[in-house]
């Protein structure tokens, strides 16, 4: 076929591989109870927060690392990680002039110009950004504009100080610290993240967004995001992630919790582009993330959309617990692996309420020596009458040394529900290429067209502003083959 | 009911080839360290085995029972060679075996070790002893049957294996079977597991290893009607040489816990492997099907069709894996699993898997779980067909897709009637 294109795809470079020269404050490597206390005191946290962390830490000590995913990596030395790194900037920032110019440069390189955001305020379809570097939120834009509507959008640490009632009410309710090894670790040492609360009946007027950036060497990033849509509220949220090129593996173990009350709707989109390691598979981020949402009330809806192009290892399952009757869960995913990347990703749809619906569309693309697995669970509880699920998991193979795998679990416990699952694995058909070429497209454009069409179901789900970015990302990962 | 059955002392098999003696020792070690897989094990996640059944006496087998007089009533009547196996032991008197000149050869494993030591060397190369049940079987099998089809022989009649469980004794039985189909041969085999006057609980742990030669065509259809006292683990593994076609059908209609492990290894270019099944668990029954299509070389095809109908408090499991190895280019592999739940207390667990390491392949699987089509039910009821009859008709059509994969008409009719009976009792 278009071997050159595939070679080019496989040879493409990571464009976000620089590191910024920002003064950073880090703590000593290693993890003990003192580390947890130190992080908590650095953040000036109230007693209940420290208590939560310590409980999680003590529980974590009792746990062992899970080994069931279809990924291989050397054992992580948890004592060889810096658990806290923060850009050295203590004073509250009133305007952007006070921001470290290096930091501004960083964001400009990332394509999120904070200044431009500021200037454009008031213009329709803006994006409010919370930027997190090395697990500390450095700048949240549009906070005031949002606050007028009653929307709270701030860093997690700020929320702990200013909205302790909300944090105490929701923290750990969707992903308890006992959930899994990495969720427990995160609960013990998380340093920051984003918090968002949309009050009753409010439709968030702009896209909210968090940018995560790992900058310092030897650090792990452990952030925590908590999103609550109260009754009838709506929010669309996007996270993006990048990291510098380093030849060591860095750990990213985040937790995201979503809560949708009656008729609330959350749309959560991720464009994940952590450094994937070099062509020999050296370096790169281990992306071990727990993401889960709960549709608490009737007719609530949670939708996950993810475009996964980065990370040496991606291991995550954004899930939805469909508790409220008539609630809806969706999962749309494009996962691209190249070189020696490994991805084991998918979702869990747990149907508990009556008449609940879920849709899963997963598209995997593997090239080089990579391995790409879809792993998912659809469980229809006994009381989830008339529930409905549709899953489609397709894999596209771009080389003869890569692997594509599907591990769906389907459990149905009543007679009125319907579950459908289908999966296909193939390479780009010669006949499809031939068809395109016959109509005057060259090889490259043909592959671009086919891959684009292949991912379309998922890309269509992204908010307008990010669909463009996601396509750009895809074209970086599959350089030369996507137009 | 008197439990007069006396267990024969555990027989030690003589004349085992040296490698098999060593394999038995290794298997014993594996079993001693791992034991039977529990539901913590990924492969046996949904199988709730009765631990009491696993502790059934391992001291030996019951004395050969007289074949019940009413046996023929329970059998499928068609023109076939009949091989009767009672409690795991070949009952030659009641069998109608082919004459040895015909190129078809049937005997007990025990005899084969004496009479055809060369042939016995084929035992133990295919079954995976990392599975607890296979380890147990390999370490302790006491007997079994052996079937050999010479090359270029097209067997004129189907071979009908009757696997009868009967008697008053409780025991755990490890049988080891071997099928060898020579090159350019053709055979149609039926295995019918049933119980008659079975008054105590027994556990059958059977391993069947199959070699299918080049350009051969073989079908192996299994009907599982064990009744409430029979626990079965059926492990079937076949190695397919170039251009061979093997079709494995399995119909699980009754039994306490039935686990079917079916593995087709496509080891020669151009081989085709087909796996079809119907499982209808009702209250007190768990039927668990695990299949594997292992594509080892290029240019092979595999197809799979499994249909589940769960009644009462029954529990059905389907776990199918398509495994395409690195060099198995130009593979076509298809899998379809459809299930119907007819009761709110029934469950279905499915896990269709694809594990693919080659790029020039076409693989797909589809799985659905739902209920009977309301519109179809309404259509029939509007035309005067009662709800119950309409339901049966739809289930018949649903399972019929897999039943029709069976070659022999008499067997197909038997299956249709048996499925109907099962729905009547629900």
Q: What is the pLDDT of residue A2?
A: 45
- The answer to whether the CB atoms of B364 and A425 lie below 8 A apart is yes
pLDDT of A396 above 80: yes
Could you tell me which residue, A248 or B277, shows the higher pLDDT? B277
**Chain A partners of B350 at a C-beta cutoff of 8 Å?**
409-410, 421
pLDDT tens, residue by residue, A162-201: 999 999 999 999 999 999 999 999 999 888 888 999 999 9
Taking contacts as CB-CB distances below 8 angstroms, the residues of chain A near B357 are 402-403
Give chain A's mean pLDDT.
Answer: 80
pLDDT band at A234 (very low <50, low <70, confident <90, very high): very high
Q: With contacts defined as CB-CB under 8 Å, which chain A residues touch B364?
A: 422-425
pLDDT in tens, A425-468: 888 878 888 999 999 988 777 877 788 788 888 888 877 666 76
Q: Strand B89-90 vs strand B81-86: parallel, antiparallel, or unpaired?
A: antiparallel
Residue B420 within any structural domain of the chain:
no
Residue B365 to chain A, least CA–CA distance (Å): 5
List CB contacts of A41: < 8 A, sequence separation 6 or more.
none
Closest chain A residue by Cα to residue B320: A407
Name the token pair of B343: 């009761």
A427 and B359 in contact by Cβ < 8 A? Answer: yes
Q: Percent of chain B, pLDDT > 90?
A: 66
Please answer yes or no on whether A407 and B342 come within 8 Å at the CB atom. no
Tell which wins on pLDDT, A481 or B135. B135
Q: Which of A404, A418, A422 sits opposite B366 (nearest CB)?
A: A422
Run of H or E residues at A427: strand A418-427
The answer, yes or no, to whether residue A139 has pLDDT greater than 80, is no
Question: Is residue B288 pLDDT above 80, yes or no?
Answer: yes
Mean pLDDT value across residues B338-366:
92
Query: How many domains is chain A partitioned into structurally?
Result: 1
Task: Using CA coordinates, name the residue in chain B closest to A371.
Answer: B357
Indicate whether A110 pLDDT > 60: no
Asked if residue A483 belongs to a domain, the reply is no
Average pLDDT over residues A255-270: 93
pLDDT at B169: 82
In a domain, B147, yes or no: yes
Question: Which is more confidently placed, A143 or B113?
Answer: B113
Query: Does residue A126 sit within a domain?
Result: yes
What pLDDT is attached to residue A90? Answer: 41
Please state the domain count of chain B: 1
Domain hosting residue A151, numbered range: 3-477
If you average pLDDT over every residue of chain B, what do you get?
89
Residues of B in contact with A408 (CB under 8 A): 351-353, 367
B164: β partners: B86, B194
Residue-range definition of the domain harbouring residue B294: 18-372
- Is A230 a domain residue? yes
Give one DSSP letter per residue of B110-129, joined into a string: HHHHHH-HHHHTTTTSSS-T
* pLDDT for the residue B377: 92
pLDDT at residue A307 is higher than 50: yes
Which of the pair, A320 or A1, is modelled with greater confidence? Answer: A320
Distances (CA, A) of A212 to A44, A106, A271, B125: 22, 12, 10, 53
Domain presence at residue A145: yes
Highest mean pLDDT among A113-122, B60-69, B206-215 belongs to B206-215
B353: closest CA of chain A, how far (Å): 5
Q: What is the pLDDT of residue B340?
A: 95
pLDDT digits (tens, 9 = 90+) for A23-36: 667 777 888 888 88
B295, B308, B316, B359: best to mutate for the A interface, most A CBs within 10 A: B359
B252 occurs within a structural domain:
yes
What is the structure's pLDDT at A122? 33
Asked, for residue B331, whether it belongs to a domain, the answer is yes
- For residues A149 and B402, the model is more confident at B402
For A390, nearest residue in chain B (alpha carbons): B368
Instruction: Determine whether the interchain pair A397/B361 forms a contact, defined as Cβ–Cβ distance below 8 Å.
Output: yes
* C-beta of residue B320 within 8 angstroms of C-beta of residue B337: yes
Residue B1 pLDDT > 50, yes or no?
Answer: no
Mean pLDDT, rounded, for B359-363:
89
pLDDT digits 0-9 by tens, A51-104:
999 999 999 999 988 888 888 888 888 888 888 777 665 434 444 454 556 555
CB atoms B370 and A68 under 8 Å:
no
**In chain A, what residues touch B361 (CB-CB under 8 Å)?**
397, 425-427
Interface residues on A facing B, Cβ-Cβ cutoff 8 A: 68, 382, 395, 397-427
Q: Which of B87, B287, B284, B281 is nearest to B202 (CA)?
A: B87
pLDDT at B291: 96
- Contact list in B for residue A420 (CB cut-off 8 A) is 366-368, 370
What residues of B are in contact with residue A431 (Cβ under 8 Å)?
Answer: none
Distant-in-sequence, close-in-space partners of A471: CB < 8 Å, separation ≥ 6: A452, A459, A482
B41 or A358, greater pLDDT: A358
CA-based nearest distance A453→chain B, Å = 18
For residue A404, list chain B residues with Cβ-Cβ distance below 8 A.
354, 356
Q: Which of A349, A384, A394, A421 to mutate to test the interface with B (most CBs of B within 10 A)?
A: A421
CA nearest B407: which of B147, B155, B278, B218?
B218
Task: Identify the band that residue B3 occupies on the pLDDT scale cut at 50, 70 and 90.
Answer: very low
Give me the residue from B349, B354, B358 closest to A406, CB to CB. B354
Of A410, A411, A425, the CB nearest to B361: A425
Look at B351 and A407 and tell me if their CB atoms are within 8 Å.
yes
- The pLDDT of residue A298: 94
pLDDT for position A15: 61
Distance (Å, whole) CA A177 – CA A255: 10
Q: Do B369 and A417 touch (CB under 8 A)?
A: yes
* pLDDT exceeds cutoff 50 at B4: no
- pLDDT-derived band at B208, boundaries 50, 70, 90: very high
Distance from CA of B29 to the nearest CA of A (A): 25
Query: Which of these ranges, A349-363, B3-17, B149-163, B258-272, has the smallest mean pLDDT?
Result: B3-17
Distance of CA A48 to CAs A41, A161, B121, B165, Å?
12, 12, 69, 65
Tens of pLDDT, residue by residue over B226-240, are 888 899 999 999 999
Q: Residues of B with CB below 8 A from A423's CB? A: 352, 354, 364-366
**Minimum mean pLDDT range among A70-74, B248-252, B358-362, B394-398:** A70-74
- What is the percentage of chain A residues whose pLDDT exceeds 70? 77
Inter-CA distances, A222 with A140, A287, A397, Å = 18, 10, 33
A195 phi, psi to nearest 5 deg: -130, 140
pLDDT, tens digit, for every residue of B77-115?
A: 999 999 999 888 888 888 888 877 688 999 999 888 888
pLDDT at A439: 93
Give the residue among B224, B198, B187 at the shortest CA–CA distance from B81.
Answer: B187
Cβ within 8 Å, pair A418-B369: yes
């Amino acid at each position: 076929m278009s071997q050159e294109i595939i070679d080019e795809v496989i040879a493409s470079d990571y464009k976000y591989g620089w590191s910024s020269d920002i003064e950073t404050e880090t703590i000593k490597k290693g993890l003990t109870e003192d580390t947890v206390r130190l992080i908590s005191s650095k953040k000036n946290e109230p007693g209940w927060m420290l208590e939560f962390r310590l409980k999680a830490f003590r529980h974590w000590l009792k746990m062992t690392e899970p080994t069931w995913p279809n990924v291989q990596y050397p054992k992580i030395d948890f004592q060889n990680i810096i658990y806290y790194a923060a850009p050295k900037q203590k004073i509250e920032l009133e305007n952007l002039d006070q921001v470290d110019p290096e930091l501004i440069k960083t964001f400009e390189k990332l394509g999120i110009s904070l200044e431009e955001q500021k200037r454009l305020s008031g213009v329709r379809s803006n994006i409010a950004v919370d930027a997190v570097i090395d697990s500390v939120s450095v700048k949240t834009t549009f906070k005031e504009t949002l606050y007028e509507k009653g929307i709270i959008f701030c860093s997690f640490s700020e929320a702990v100080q200013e909205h302790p009632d909300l944090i105490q009410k929701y923290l750990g309710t969707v992903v308890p610290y006992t959930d899994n090894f990495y969720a427990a670790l995160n609960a013990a040492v998380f340093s920051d993240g984003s918090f968002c609360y949309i009050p009753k009946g409010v439709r968030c007027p702009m896209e909210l967004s968090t940018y995560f950036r790992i900058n310092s060497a030897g650090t792990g990033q452990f952030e925590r995001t908590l999103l609550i849509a109260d009754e009838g509220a709506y929010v669309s949220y996007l996270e993006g992630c990048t990291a510098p090129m380093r030849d060591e593996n860095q750990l990213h173990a985040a937790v995201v919790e979503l809560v949708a009350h009656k008729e609330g709707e959350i749309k959560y989109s991720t464009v994940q582009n952590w450094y994937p390691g070099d062509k020999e598979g050296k370096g790169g981020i281990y992306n071990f993330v727990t993401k889960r949402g709960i549709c608490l009330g009737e007719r609530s809806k949670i939708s996950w959309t993810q475009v996964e192009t980065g990370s040496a290892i991606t291991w995550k399952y954004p899930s939805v617990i469909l508790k409220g009757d008539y609630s809806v869960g969706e999962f749309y995913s494009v996962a691209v692996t190249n070189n020696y990347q490994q991805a084991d990703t998918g979702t869990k749809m747990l149907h508990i309420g009556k008449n609940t619906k879920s849709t899963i569309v997963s598209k995997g693309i593997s090239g080089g020596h990579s391995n790409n697995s879809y792993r998912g669970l659809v469980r229809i509880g006994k009381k989830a009458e008339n529930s409905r699920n549709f899953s489609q998991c397709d894999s596209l193979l771009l080389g003869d040394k890569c692997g594509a795998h599907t591990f769906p679990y389907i459990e149905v416990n009543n007679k009125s529900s319907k579950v459908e699952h289908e999966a296909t694995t193939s390479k780009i058909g010669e006949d499809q290429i031939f068809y395109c070429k016959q109509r005057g497209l060259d090889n490259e454009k043909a592959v671009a067209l086919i891959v684009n069409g292949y991912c379309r179901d998922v890309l269509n789900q992204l908010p307008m502003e990010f669909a463009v970015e996601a396509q750009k990302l895809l074209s970086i990962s599959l350089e030369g083959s996507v137009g | 009911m008197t439990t007069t059955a006396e267990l024969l002392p555990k027989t030690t098999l003589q004349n085992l080839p040296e490698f098999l003696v060593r394999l038995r020792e290794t298997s014993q070690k594996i079993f001693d360290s791992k034991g039977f897989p529990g539901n913590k094990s990924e492969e046996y996640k949904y199988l709730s085995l009765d631990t009491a059944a696993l502790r059934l006496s391992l001291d030996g087998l019951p004395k050969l029972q007289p074949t019940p007089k009413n046996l023929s009533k329970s059998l499928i009547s068609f023109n076939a060679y009949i091989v009767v196996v009672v409690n795991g032991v070949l009952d030659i008197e009641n069998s109608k075996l082919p004459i040895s000149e015909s190129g078809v050869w049937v005997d007990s494993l025990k005899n084969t070790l004496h009479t055809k030591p060369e042939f016995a060397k084929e035992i133990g190369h295919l079954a995976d002893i990392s599975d607890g049940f296979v380890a147990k079987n390999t370490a302790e099998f006491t007997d079994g049957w052996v079937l050999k089809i010479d090359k270029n022989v097209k067997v004129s009649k189907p071979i009908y294996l009757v696997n009868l469980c009967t008697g008053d004794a409780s025991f755990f039985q490890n049988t080891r079977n071997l099928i060898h189909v020579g090159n350019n041969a053709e055979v149609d085999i039926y295995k019918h597991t049933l119980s008659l006057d079975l008054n105590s609980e027994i556990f059958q742990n059977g391993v069947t290893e199959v070699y299918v030669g080049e350009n051969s065509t073989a079908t192996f259809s299994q009907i599982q009607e064990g009744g409430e006292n029979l626990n079965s683990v059926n492990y079937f593994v076949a190695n397919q040489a170039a251009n061979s076609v093997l079709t494995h059908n399995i119909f699980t209609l009754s039994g306490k816990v039935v686990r079917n492990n079916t593995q087709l290894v496509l080891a020669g270019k151009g081989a085709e492997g087909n796996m079809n099944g119907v499982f209808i668990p009702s209250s007190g029954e768990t039927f668990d099907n695990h299949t594997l299509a292992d594509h080892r070389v290029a240019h092979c095809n595999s197809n799979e069709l499994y249909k589940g109908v769960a009644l009462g408090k029954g529990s059905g499991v389907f776990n199918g894996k398509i495994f395409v190895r690195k060099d198995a280019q130009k593979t076509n592999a298809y899998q379809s699993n459809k299930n119907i739940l007819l009761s709110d207390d029934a469950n279905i667990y499915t896990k269709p898997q694809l594990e693919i390491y080659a790029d020039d392949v076409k693989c797909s699987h589809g799985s659905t779980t739902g209920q009977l089509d309301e519109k179809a039910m309404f259509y029939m009821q509007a035309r005067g067909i009662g709800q119950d009859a309409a339901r049966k008709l739809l289930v018949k059509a649903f399972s019929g897709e897999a039943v029709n994969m069976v070659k022999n008409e008499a067997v197909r009719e038997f299956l249709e009637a048996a499925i109907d009976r099962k729905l009547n009792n629900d």
